[in-house]
Amino acid sequence: MRRDMDDAMAGWPYDPEPGEVVAREVRARDGRMVVQLRVELGVLQMEVGGRPDGTRPHGFATYLDYLRYRAAGRGGGSGGDATPWVMSREHCTAADREFVQYYHRREAWLGLQRYDRALKDADHTLALMDFVCQHGFDDDYIDSHERFRGLVLFHRTRSAAALALERRRPDEAIDVVREGGERIAAHLRRWSQNHDHDEIPNASLIEQLHVLENEIRRNFAVEKTLREQLDEAVADEDYERAAQLRDQIRARAGG
């Protein structure tokens, strides 16, 4: 049996444009679909559902699920002790492995414009980041992940906005972009307050979202979204108009 990857790599050259992600979905020999990411030295193949590597850590769907189990005290955690459960170095190493796997697959989904899957993987990474913030064993380890929170939020915002545009809801896409920008700005403010002399990571992401927002407004002739109109109505104390706008927003969300 041949064990090299020469045929796959020769038939799929790595010659990306700047910033381009080279990825594809293919059917494996057993019939299941997998996603592949072309990198300079080969190909990364990942499962489309569950953990990208297809494993079940300690019997759980993801390592985050296992960590939550441990932190809840059912798997040797703190139990009734009020002291917060803290990740061990072994936990941190395994969590980092999951971070990297979900990063690669999220990049592949974005390259393939599979925004629903990219959104789901971004949410998983953000949940893992939140867990690390609460249970990481020291500030340096927590910071090693928090410096990338802005990028993950950016990927999530792009995906959610693209999904809104696919549903022909440009005003909703603008609201998503604005909310994403606010979340990134809040994160960067926290980072700046806690790291006085450090460079602010991913500071340009908010400007990129402003550009995206302006493009959507221009391309779809959106002057003011429902949420922007609601904010104005509340500021003007026009509560009847505000109630009508809230009803429209709820109806849109339900649709």
The residues facing 33 across adjacent strands are: 27
- How far apart are the C-alpha atoms of 48 and 52, rounded to whole Å? 7
- How far apart are the C-alpha atoms of 219 and 200, rounded to whole Å? 32
pTM, rounded to two decimals: 0.88
Per the structure block, which two tokens stand in for 97? 């492995």
196 to each of 51, 85, 140, 200, how far by Cα in Å?
37, 29, 15, 9
209-224 pLDDT tens trace: 999 999 999 999 988 8
Q: What is the DSSP letter of 24?
A: E
245 to each of 22, 150, 157, how far by Cα in Å?
43, 31, 23
Q: What is the DSSP letter of 138?
A: S
* pLDDT recorded at residue 224: 87
- How far apart are the C-alpha atoms of 68 and 118, rounded to whole Å? 23
Q: What is the mean pLDDT of the chain?
A: 90
* pLDDT recorded at residue 82: 65
* pLDDT recorded at residue 85: 93
Question: Which residues of the chain are modeled with pLDDT < 70?
Answer: 1, 74-82, 197-198, 254-255
| Residues 120, 164, 130, 88, Cα dihedral to 10° | 20
